[in-house]
Chains A and B, each alone.
Chain A
Amino acid sequence: MSSAWWRRGVLAAGGFAFLAATVDPGVAQGPPPGFSPLDKTNVKASKQDESLRPHATPPTVTPVEKIPVDKLRLPPGFRAEIWSSGHPGGRTMVRGTKGTIFMGTRLIGRVYAIVDKDGKREVKTLLQGLTQPNGLAFKDGSLYVFAIHRVLRYDNIEDKLDNPGDPVDLTDKFGLPDTIHHNWKYVAFGPDGKLYVQVGANCNICEVNPGTHAQIRRYNPDGSGMEIVARGVRNTVGFDWHPVTKELWFTDNGRDWAGDAGPEDELNRIAKGREGANYGFPYCHAQGLPDPDIRVPNPCAGTVLPAALLGPHSAGLGIIFYTGNMFPPAYKNVAFIARRGSWNRSQKYGYDVVVARTSGGKATIEPFMTGLLDTKKNEFYGRPTYLLQMPDGALLVSDEQNGAIYRITYGPKTAGK
Chain B
Amino acid sequence: MLKVKKQGKMDVSVQTPSTASAVAQEPNAFVKAVAEKKYEFGFTTDVETEIIEKGLNEEVVRLISRKKNEPEWLLDFRLEAYRYWQGQQQPSWAHVTLPEIDYQAISYYADPTAKSKEGEKKEIDPELMKTFDKLGIPLEERMALSGMAVDAVMDSVSVKTTFKERLSEKGIIFCSISEAVQQYPDLVRQYLGSVVPYRDNYFAALNSAVFSDGSFVYIPKNTRCPMELSTYFRINARNTGQFERTLIVCDEGSYVSYLEGCTAPMRDENQLHAAIVEIVVMDNAEVKYSTVQNWYPGDSEGRGGVLNLVTKRGHLRGVNSKLSWTQVETGSAITWKYPSCVLSGDNSQAEFYSVAVTNNHQEADTGTKMIHLGKNTKSTIISKGISAGRSQNSYRGLVKVGKHADGARNYSSCDSLLLGSECGAHTFPYIDVQNNTATVEHEATTSKINENQLYYCNQRGISTEEAVGLIVNGYAKDVINKLPMEFAVEAQKLLSVSLEGTVG
Does A associate with B in a complex?
Answer: no
A interface residues (Cβ-Cβ under 8 A, vs B): none
